Chain A
Amino acid sequence: MKVVVCVKQIPDPALPGELDPSTNYLKRDDKLILDESDSYGVEMALQLVEAAGGGEVSLVSMAPKGEVSGLRTALAMGAEDAVLVSDDALAGSDALGTAKVLATAISAMSPDLVLAGVESSDGYTGTVPEMIAGVLDIPSITFAKQIQVEGSTVKVQRQTEAGYDDVECSMPALVSVTAGVVEPRYPSFKGIMAAKKKPVEELDLAALGIDSGVVGKNGARQETVRVTDAEERQAGEVIEDDGDAHEKIVEFLGELKVV
């Protein structure tokens, strides 16, 4: 079984994000890291291949300036190889443009199953996986909390408002994985060393045969007209608990007529 996992390399979420004032794109100047949301997909893929008794987990990513730091992390977890799409013309791509690029790269990899996170931690549009399935014209199941492969069928527990649904479809298919549903393995020292030698194929738009007009800013067909600072919520009173802070809470709830 061949599983391709879509991974995004993002600015460290622990650092404050910033928009480039000239383009209004998210600044990606510092080293990028593997989006934690995608580590669950990588782990799920590794588990599925182990359960199937063999197969291969490959990665696909789109990032500026040949960035591979996040890919190396996922390779160190156990993925075999990776395809990175990197091209200056991709700056400003929206979800649809991104999906077109990733789908084209994935198509050449001929996977049985494509996995992705439900949404990235930085852009969180939550639409790219389903769009990739759309471009590939294959079935998809979003919000998976558990995945099982039986023959050529993928069976998924799909998270819902009320609980979960059992959903299944034939493969090839795409499944998006909810954050937190598996425990991503820590790369071992051996894994980290091995990852440095694993193949990462870097492709540009020409290699994928994609016209630069359908991606990037032109392909996005939308314009940031302005960025404003949100009204800040004012902090109120902060007190140290000296044993009777609960009385203060009861008093406040009383003022609000909750008690």
Chain B
Amino acid sequence: MSIETILVFAEGDESGPSSLTLELVTAARSLAANVETFVAGDGTAMADQLGAHGASKVFSTGSLEGKLIGVHAAAALQAHIEANTPDAVFFGQTADGRDTAARLAVRIDQPVVTNNVGASIEDGNLVVEEPVFGGTQNVFTAFRNDGPALALFRPKSFEAEANGGGAAEVVRADVVDPGTAGAAEVTGRHAEERSGPQLDAAEVVVSGGRGLGQPEAYTMIDELAGLLGAASGASRAIVDAGWVPYAKQVGQTGKVVKPNVYVACGISGATQHLVGMKGSKNIIAINKDPEAPIFGVADLGIVGDVHKVIPALIEALKSR
């Protein structure tokens, strides 16, 4: 078996495809001669950028608004795959990506490999790379199934890079009714207020953890982030404790960030957190425990009290 066509499950909005989608299209291009994309929704607005990154086609179901899309996307993908037989389907490790891949795996009875950060072709087979034990080891898995290889990839595993292609051809994909399994309906949407740069796109990220001691202390993190033009993030511990919304969580569950500078304040550096930030170019850590694992990955480690160091740092930055 060789890999000729890779289908990328493309996600995005009116403004175009997500950065993760473009990363996957770029990666797919280096592995297969033909890259196509599938949008569970209206893919028209994505055609230019998907094409510019190397996709030849955008299969688009048209709007699925009001549905929880995973099961609907999987039903449409199954029909598409049976008619077009791509060799592999790439998904982003997102909520919809996971839902869709999982439902599709059942429908076509094929395995799916999740949490990957790399892909290669070895002896004509797709081999994917998944970090385990907090990224201390990498497991390489080859697909041995007689159907498309279904793989999910974590954000920022590849660099998105345009190759100057023209707009991808938009092709209508059939919508397939999944029956009662597709009964979940979205009846309302609620957005939390957000200011400053986006966490997963920011050049500088300032994150707080349990070492802050109490929820009110998180205002220091926001203030420091504001002074540095940074996004503010958090460890899972304080998200679980309800101090800050889930959208701020950096880690294995939550966002993967790779900023120029990551400032970890009162974060011990549990595996769960390290996985989401140790790809940062520069890491500054402030923690009172000299044994904290975060110091093992920090370029500059400060053993000290966040309640003293951060206010002093804020004052110093203000007086510049």
Contacts and interface: CB of A to CB of B under 8 A. Distances in A.
B184 A167 contact: yes
A146 to B, nearest CB: 12
Contacts of A137: 179-181
Interface string B86-117: 00000001010011011101110111111100
B264 to A, nearest CB: 12
Residue among B131, B181, B284, B295 with max Cβ neighbours from chain A (10 Å): B181
A222 B137 contact: no
Contacts of B203: 258
Contacts of A179: 236, 240, 253
Contact of B239 (A162, A166, A180): A180
Interface in A124-153: 124-131, 133-135, 137-143, 145
Interface string B209-231: 00000000000000000001000
B140 A142 contact: no
Contacts of B171: none
Nearest to A138: B181
Nearest to B247: A161
Contacts of A161: 95, 247
Contacts of A99: 102, 106
Nearest to B299: A236
A245 interface: yes
Nearest to A26: B132
Given A16-B133, A99-B106, A180-B240, A225 B71 contact: no
A7 to B, nearest CB: 18
Interface of A: 16-17, 19, 24, 94-96, 99, 118-119, 124-131, 133-135, 137-143, 145, 158-170, 173, 178-180, 220-230, 232-233, 235-241, 243-250, 252-253, 256, 258-259
B261 A134 contact: no
A17 B74 CA distance: 34
B68 A167 contact: yes
B138 A259 contact: no
Contact of B302 (A129, A163, A167, A241): A241
Interface stretch (B53-61, B159-167, B311-319): B311-319
Interface stretch (B21-29, B30-38, B41-49, B188-196): B188-196
B197 interface: no
A237 B301 contact: yes
A56 B133 CA distance: 37
B103 A130 contact: yes
Task: Kindly state the interface size class of chain B when it binds its partner.
Answer: 35 or more
Interface of B: 68, 70-71, 74, 93, 95, 98-99, 101-103, 105-107, 109-115, 122, 127, 131-133, 135-146, 179-192, 203-204, 228, 236, 239-242, 245-247, 252-253, 260-261, 278, 282, 284, 286, 290, 295-305, 308-309, 312-313, 315-317, 320
A205 B150 CA distance: 26
Contact of B145 (A19, A128, A222, A245): A222
B270 to A, nearest CB: 9
Given A245-B309, A253-B261, A139 B180 contact: yes
Contacts, number: 260
A137 B184 CA distance: 13
B103 A94 contact: no
A124 to B, nearest CB: 6
A258 B320 CA distance: 13
B240 A165 contact: no
Contacts of A245: 286, 302, 304, 309, 312
B98 A130 contact: yes
Nearest to A142: B99
**6 nearest CB pairs, A to B:** A241-B304, A180-B240, A134-B106, A130-B102, A238-B301, A236-B299
Contact of A246 (B107, B138, B278, B313): B313
Contacts of A236: 298-301
Contacts of B191: 162-163
A138 B180 contact: yes
A230 B302 contact: no
A124 B114 CA distance: 9
A252 B240 contact: no
B240 A127 contact: no
A235 B138 contact: no
